[in-house]
């Protein structure tokens, strides 16, 4: 297959065909209509996504066009105001946001529960209407609180959300982040703590975002953790260690081996590229990352 020709054809069809901005179809329907074209030149074992914030200097529509050309199927960490632009290009949003107060202020603070629950219950029907089924959330920072108390507090707030999440079919997904380098004092900073919270909440509509970059910094043992604990993970992120740069041989993680481990668990969701390109051509780095993760 002529790669350049097939990509140009796919892009032309997506922009000019069924996946227009004013289509009444949901994300899932638009995505399904274009999925074969989007992944035509890839092996198909990994559903590729990219985190918008890593390419903040690239206009969103330009990033959409580049994503289509690379076989990326999702641009994530986008709220409702951006969803129509993604839909225009036949892309989905594998991990949306649009609720909560950010990374530092989360469910471990009892005083925030009413506000947090309200914001998530307001986004659930919007997600459902758009055909999306996940939303990101955060534990918040410790601020002197013990991990045990934070676990209890998070469970109290999240249990309040679960009936609504179950009603709308939305998986609330708490991200595991490192507290050594990037997010000092963040509470949900180990897989063990996150799993304990999942067990305490006790709903299949609450899971974890296993961020490979962050967990390599905090605990390592990435492949063994994925194999052992994958049932708790609804999404994955990449990133080069150290430095959160490109995921090639300039860093310490073996991403093809990690992707194989993910596939072997039966995971059918998305892997989001969340490295921050250090090279001048950021989109070339993104394409390289997709190629590295596109295992045969």
- Residue 17, pLDDT > 90, answer no
Better pLDDT: 14 or 99: 99
The neighbouring-strand residues paired with 208 are 174, 233
pLDDT in tens, 186-196: 999 999 999 99
Sign of CA dihedral 142, 144, 148, 152: negative
Strands (E), the chain: 47-51, 74-76, 134-137, 171-175, 206-211, 233-237, 270-273
20 vs 139, residue with greater confidence: 139
Residues 6 or more apart from 182 whose CB is under 8 A from it?
214, 244
**Tell me, what's the pLDDT at 261?**
98
Q: 3-293: what fold?
A: TIM Barrel (3.20.20)
> 161-205, pLDDT tens digit by residue?
999 999 999 999 999 999 999 999 999 999 999 999 999 999 999
The percentage of the chain sitting over the pLDDT mark of 70, rounded to a whole number, equals: 86
Rounded-to-integer distance, Cα 296 and Cα 294, Å: 7
Please check whether residue 189 is in contact with residue 211, taking contact to mean a CB–CB distance below 8 angstroms: no
How large is the average pLDDT for residues 92-112?
Answer: 97
| Higher-confidence position of 277 and 19 | 277
Distances (CA, A) of 295 to 19, 117, 207, 230, 282: 28, 39, 25, 19, 22
CB 14 within 8 A of CB 7: no
Q: For residue 238, which phi and psi values (nearest 5 degrees)?
A: -105, 175
State residue 2's pLDDT score: 36
- The pair of structure tokens assigned to 224 is 């063994």
Residues 6+ apart with CB under 8 A from 293: 46, 48, 238, 247, 255, 256, 259, 271, 273
pLDDT of residue 101: 95
86 has a pLDDT exceeding 80: yes
**1 pLDDT above the threshold of 70:** no
Select the more confidently predicted residue: 120 or 23: 120
Q: How confident is the model at residue 218 (pLDDT cuts 50, 70, 90)?
A: very high
Distance, CA of 287 to CA of 67 (rounded, Å): 9
CA angle (55 as vertex; 49, 59 as ends), nearest 5: 105
CA proximity to 212, closest of 197, 221, 222, 225? 222
Tell me the domain boundaries of the chain: 3-293
Return phi, psi of residue 250, to 5°. -85, -5
Give the tens place of pLDDT for each residue, 43-81.
899 999 999 999 999 999 999 999 999 999 999 999 999
pLDDT above 90 covers a percentage of the chain that reads 85
Mean pLDDT value across residues 271-289 = 97
Residue 74 β-bridge partners:
49, 92
Q: Average pLDDT, stretch 235-263?
A: 98
CA distance 215 to 213: 6
Other beta carbons less than 10 A from residue 75's beta carbon: 26
Mean pLDDT of the chain: 90
Neighbouring residues of 217: CB distance < 8 A, sequence distance ≥ 6: 178, 180, 181, 241, 242
- What pLDDT does 259 receive? 98
Cα 155 to Cα 47: distance, rounded to the nearest angstrom: 31
Q: What is the pLDDT of residue 168?
A: 98
- Which token pair is 209? 């975002």
Q: In this predicted structure, what is the pLDDT of residue 21? A: 38
């Amino acid at each position: 297959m002529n790669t350049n020709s097939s990509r140009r054809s796919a892009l032309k069809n997506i922009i000019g065909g069924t996946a227009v901005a004013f289509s009444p179809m949901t994300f899932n329907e638009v995505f399904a209509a274009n999925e074969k074209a989007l992944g035509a030149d890839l092996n198909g074992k990994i559903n590729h996504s990219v985190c918008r914030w890593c390419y903040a200097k690239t206009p969103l529509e330009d990033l959409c066009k580049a994503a289509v050309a690379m076989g990326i199927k999702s641009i994530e960490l986008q709220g409702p105001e951006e969803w129509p632009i993604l839909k225009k290009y036949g892309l989905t949003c594998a991990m949306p946001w649009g609720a909560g107060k950010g990374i530092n202020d989360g469910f471990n603070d009892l005083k925030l529960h009413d506000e947090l629950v309200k914001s998530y219950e307001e986004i659930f029907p919007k997600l459902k209407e758009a055909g999306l089924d996940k939303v990101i959330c955060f534990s918040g920072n410790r601020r002197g609180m013990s991990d045990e108390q934070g676990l209890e507090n998070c469970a109290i707030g999240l249990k309040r959300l679960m009936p609504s999440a179950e009603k709308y079919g939305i998986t609330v997904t708490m991200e595991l982040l490192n507290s050594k380098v990037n997010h000092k004092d963040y509470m949900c900073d180990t897989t063990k703590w996150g799993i304990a919270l999942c067990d305490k909440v006790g709903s299949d509509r609450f899971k974890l975002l296993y961020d490979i970059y962050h967990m390599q910094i905090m605990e390592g043992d990435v492949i063994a953790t994925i194999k052992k604990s994958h049932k708790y993970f609804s999404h994955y992120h990449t990133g080069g260690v150290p430095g959160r740069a490109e995921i090639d041989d300039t860093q310490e993680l073996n991403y093809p081996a990690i992707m194989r481990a993910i596939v072997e668990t039966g995971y059918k969701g998305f892997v989001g590229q969340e490295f921050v390109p250090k090279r001048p051509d950021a989109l070339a780095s993104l394409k390289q990352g997709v190629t590295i993760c596109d295992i045969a």
